[in-house]
């Protein structure tokens, strides 16, 4: 395994009294695409927000590029984010800007490049996601898959060292889903970036990622390469990879006895 670009040790996080993450240990190797998988509400997106410095852990250590994120000042945090790209669940494109201007946005904000150079870079990024022809369209004119591809082009506009993907496959048709998965793999390799993908889409993810961490109930419950996970007998991993409706992750939300509740209603 390469040296880790993101290192998480003994991390705890809670929203008020509600514990979201407990004792998370994780190492994301440099230049690799790692998936964090788990059911809805298991704390995956919270973990991604912690890596991006949007929230701070209550306990434990979270290092990006060898530096403790929670100790960053606002300026240092923004310096780190300039070397980072993030793809949001529904793209989060700026609705008042065209596709071209969305991709040009980080370049215009963070570089002093002349407009001609920005134009070339934007067209190259759009070409990489197959949407050079859609440069002048507005976000409202794009399909969900196209919007996600534009957001992907925007997230890699500054050639980041670390790319975070938050549920990149949500709400996509099978063709768009396959395109996005392939693009994530291809862009990670082309940029030599460290990529972290939060997802619950097992089939597409296992086909493209290098390593997977499984989460349940705010804890890390398993990890391995896609090949290892496909044959894993660990109950959590098995339930998730084989889409079993019941198992360690229960079908029923915790509740008292059904008889008692029905009788109490009758009384």
Partner 1 sequence: MRLIERFFTVIGANTIDRVWRLGFAARFFLAMLSHSVETFRRPRLLLREIYASGVLSLIIILVSGLFVGLVLGLQGYDTLQRYGSSEALGILVALSLVRELGPVVAALLFASRAGSSMTAEVGLMKATEQLAAMDMMAVNPLARIMAPRFWGGVLSMPLLAALFTAAGIFGGWLIGVIFIGVDEGAFWAQMQANVNFRDDVFNGIIKSAVFGVAVSLIAVFEGFDAVPTAEGVSRAITRTVVTSALAILALDFVLTSFMFRGL
Which residues of this chain interact with partner 1, rule CB under 8 A? 52, 54, 78-79, 81-82, 84, 86, 88-90, 92-95, 105-106, 109-110, 164
Instruction: Give the C-alpha separation, 31 to 42, whole Å.
Output: 26
Q: Residues 170, 146: contact at Cβ < 8 Å?
A: no
Residue closer to partner 1 (CB basis): 90 or 238: 90
Least distance to partner 1, CB of residue 254, Å? 26
d(CA 117, CA 112): 10
How far apart CA 113 and CA 140 sit, in angstroms, is 28
Q: Rounded to the nearest whole angstrom, what is the least distance from the CB of residue 43 to partner 1 in the complex?
A: 18
Give the shortest CB-80-to-partner 1 separation in angstroms: 8
Asked whether the beta carbons of 5 and 65 are under 8 A apart, the reply is yes
Q: For the CB of residue 109, give the shortest distance to partner 1 in the complex, in Å.
A: 5
Which of 109/227 has CB closer to partner 1? 109
Q: Taking a C-beta distance cutoff of 8 angstroms, is the pair 248, 235 a contact?
A: yes
Please choose, from the candidates 77, 89, 68, the residue with its C-alpha nearest in 3D space to the C-alpha of residue 155. Answer: 89
The C-alpha atoms of residue 101 and residue 18 are separated, in whole angstroms, by 40
Residue 41, SS3 per DSSP: coil
Q: Please identify, using beta-carbon distances, which residue of 161 and 210 lies nearer to partner 1.
A: 161
Beta-bridged to residue 85, according to DSSP, are 163
Question: Which CB, 93 or 172, lies closer to partner 1?
Answer: 93
Least Å from the CB of residue 94 to partner 1: 6
Q: Which is nearer to partner 1, 36 or 51 (CB)?
A: 51
């Amino acid at each position: 395994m390469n040296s880790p670009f993101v290192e998480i040790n003994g991390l705890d996080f809670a929203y008020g009294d509600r514990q979201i993450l407990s004792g998370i240990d994780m190492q994301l190797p440099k230049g690799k695409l790692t998936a964090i998988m788990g059911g809805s509400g298991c704390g995956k997106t919270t973990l991604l927000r912690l890596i991006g410095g949007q929230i701070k852990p209550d306990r434990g250590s979270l290092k990006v590029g060898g530096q403790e994120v929670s100790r960053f000042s606002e300026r240092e945090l923004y310096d780190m984010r300039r070397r980072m790209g993030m793809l949001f669940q529904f793209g989060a494109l700026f609705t008042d800007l065209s596709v071209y201007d969305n991709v040009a946005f980080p370049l215009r904000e963070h570089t002093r490049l002349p407009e001609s150079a920005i134009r070339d870079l934007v067209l190259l990024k759009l070409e990489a996601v197959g949407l050079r022809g859609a440069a002048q369209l507005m976000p409202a004119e794009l399909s969900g898959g196209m919007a996600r591809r534009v957001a992907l082009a925007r997230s890699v506009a500054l050639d980041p060292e670390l790319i975070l993907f938050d549920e990149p496959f949500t709400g996509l048709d099978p063709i768009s889903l396959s395109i996005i998965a392939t693009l994530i793999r291809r862009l990670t390799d082309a940029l030599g970036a460290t990529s972290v993908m939060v997802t619950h889409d097992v089939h597409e993810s296992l086909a493209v990622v290098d390593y997977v961490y499984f989460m349940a109930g705010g804890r890390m419950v398993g990890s391995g390469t896609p090949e290892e996970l496909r044959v894993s007998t660990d109950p959590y991993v098995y339930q998730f990879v084989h889409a079993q409706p019941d198992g360690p992750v229960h079908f029923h939300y915790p509740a008292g006895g059904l008889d008692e509740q029905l009788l109490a209603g009758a009384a």
